[in-house]
């Protein structure tokens, strides 16, 4: 008995989501060369929740680890956290975060995402940003999803050195180096 095209596509869908659980329906549609509606129907048939629910399920477990901030103070969804090592967050942008005329996301949203992830990744009860070195590479348009990755590169006494890189579809849009001071 041969496998149908639909069964092959659904198997590919499962494999892609297992590799990257935060892939959007739009990206799946492009990769599998079918409509977004077909992706949604396939996900429903396979009992795979929509992206927003997949993110919230993963994020729920990470918020309890954070010591420096409350859940509501983290900009984006915290999807991975290993204290004093690394962390990952996602932020779905929208027009309320953008300049009206250009639809480009305002820099303070991107900075806030980076800073809150840097603070969340360190294992300290109270910390402040001592130094922040930033570089915006390219504009981010409303509707794009930001993915931030933080890495603790050094701990020296009460200072934590954290690098944060933010991408859109794997294209670098922002990078920062923070020196966070614990109190």
- The topology under which CATH files domain 61-182 is Thiol Ester Dehydrase; Chain A (3.10.129)
Q: Is a pLDDT exceeding 90 seen at residue 150?
A: yes
Cα distance between residue 55 and residue 79, in whole Å: 7
Location of each CATH 1.10.10.10 domain in the chain: 5-48
Q: What is the pLDDT of residue 62?
A: 67
**Contacts (Cβ under 8 Å, ≥6 apart) of 147:** 22, 88, 89, 90, 166, 167, 168
What confidence tier does 65 reach under pLDDT thresholds 50, 70, 90? confident
What does pTM read for this prediction?
Answer: 0.73
For the domain spanning 5-48, the CATH number is 1.10.10.10
According to DSSP, residue 87 is labeled: E
What confidence tier does 1 reach under pLDDT thresholds 50, 70, 90? very low
Mean pLDDT of the chain: 90
- Highest mean pLDDT out of 22-26, 78-82, 84-88: 84-88
Location of each CATH 3.10.129.10 domain in the chain: 61-182
Cβ neighbours around 56 below 10 Å, total: 12
More confident residue, 44 or 105: 105
Residues 135-159, mean pLDDT to the nearest whole number: 96
End-to-end CA distance of the chain: 66
Q: What is the pLDDT of residue 84?
A: 95
Q: What is the pLDDT of residue 5?
A: 87
**Contacts (Cβ under 8 Å, ≥6 apart) of 1:** none
Q: Which of 69-83, 93-107, 124-138 has the lowest mean pLDDT?
A: 69-83
Q: Is a pLDDT exceeding 50 seen at residue 20?
A: yes
More confident residue, 180 or 6: 180
Sheet holding 127-136, edge to edge: 77-82, 86-92, 145-156, 159-168, 171-182, 127-136
Q: What angle do CA 155, 159, 165 make, to 5 degrees?
A: 75
Q: Is a pLDDT exceeding 50 seen at residue 147?
A: yes
Q: What is the pLDDT of residue 71?
A: 80
Residues 146-151, mean pLDDT to the nearest whole number: 97
């Amino acid at each position: 008995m041969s496998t149908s095209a639909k069964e092959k596509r659904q198997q590919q869908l499962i494999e892609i989501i297992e590799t990257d659980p935060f892939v959007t329906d739009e990206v799946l549609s492009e990769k599998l060369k079918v409509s977004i509606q077909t992706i949604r129907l396939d996900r429903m048939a396979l009992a795979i929740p929509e992206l927003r629910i997949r993110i919230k399920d993963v994020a729920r477990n990470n918020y309890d680890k954070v010591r420096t901030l409350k859940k509501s103070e983290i900009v984006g969804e915290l999807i991975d956290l290993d204290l004093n090592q690394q962390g990952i967050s996602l932020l779905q942008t929208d027009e309320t975060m953008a300049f009206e005329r250009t639809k480009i996301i305002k820099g303070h949203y991107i900075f806030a995402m980076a800073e809150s992830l840097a603070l969340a990744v360190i294992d300290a009860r109270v910390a402040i940003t001592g130094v922040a070195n930033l570089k915006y590479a390219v504009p981010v348009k409303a509707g794009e999803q930001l993915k931030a990755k933080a890495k603790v590169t050094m701990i020296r006494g009460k200072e934590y050195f954290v690098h944060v890189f933010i991408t859109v579809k794997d294209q670098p849009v922002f990078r920062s180096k923070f020196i966070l001071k614990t109190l």
